[in-house]
Amino acid sequence: MPLIIILIGIVVLLLLIIGLRMNAFLALLLVALGVGLSMGMSAADTLAAMQKGVGGTLGTLALIMGLGAILGGLIAESGAAQVIARRLTDLFGTKNITWAMVLTGFIIGIPMFYSVAFLMVLPIILQWQRRPNSRFWWWRFPLLHRFL
């Protein structure tokens, strides 16, 4: 019986997210509550289990996310991202700009999450777009590949 309840919960979760276009986090919370109650847990026990599960996951990620955001802010404010891109382009040359941008995206993207890193490379993309004879796709995709 527990396996059937879990399978029904997965189907309901997919229907809420895909069919009703509900926010995935809210849908997950609703389904977790429903599955917990369906398994015979009390409402208080179900909420405590949900809190423990979410708290344990966020507790381990909070430190990484916080430090990544701080590092991203430091790199953005100092202009280090532009310096990295310019130095690597000088090193590789404009003929091999694709490799310079791949390495730039990799270096910038290592310590931070997608949204922070993407906002940091966006000024680089806009700056390099103004250069004469700039091939649109040859260096933008390599720069962004690290964040996909």
33-55: pLDDT as tens digits: 999 999 999 999 998 998 888 88
**89 and 134 both lie in a single domain:** yes
Domain boundary among 15, 42, 64: 64
Does pLDDT of 145 surpass 60?
no
Q: Which residues contact 107 (CB under 8 A, 6 or more apart)?
A: 84
Tokens linked to 86: 């310019």
Does the predicted TM-score (pTM) go above 0.85?
Answer: no
Q: Which residue has the higher pLDDT, 106 or 138?
A: 106
**42 and 13 both lie in a single domain:** yes
Looking at the 3D structure of the chain, how many domains does it have?
2
**32 and 52 both lie in a single domain:** yes
**143 and 73 both lie in a single domain:** yes
pLDDT, tens digit, 9 for 90 and up, residues 44-88:
999 899 888 888 777 766 666 666 667 767 777 788 878 888 898
**79 and 131 both lie in a single domain:** yes
Average pLDDT over residues 86-98: 84
* pLDDT value of residue 64: 67
**49 and 74 both lie in a single domain:** no
Segments in the chain forming alpha helices (H): 2-14, 24-38, 43-78, 80-92, 97-109, 114-129, 136-144
**77 and 52 both lie in a single domain:** no
Tokens linked to 45: 């026990």
Average pLDDT over residues 97-113: 74
Q: Which domain holds residue 54?
A: 2-64
Does pLDDT of 96 surpass 70?
yes
**33 and 58 both lie in a single domain:** yes
**49 and 80 both lie in a single domain:** no
Tokens linked to 52: 């423990």
**59 and 73 both lie in a single domain:** no
**Angstrom distance (rounded) from CA 69 to CA 56:** 20
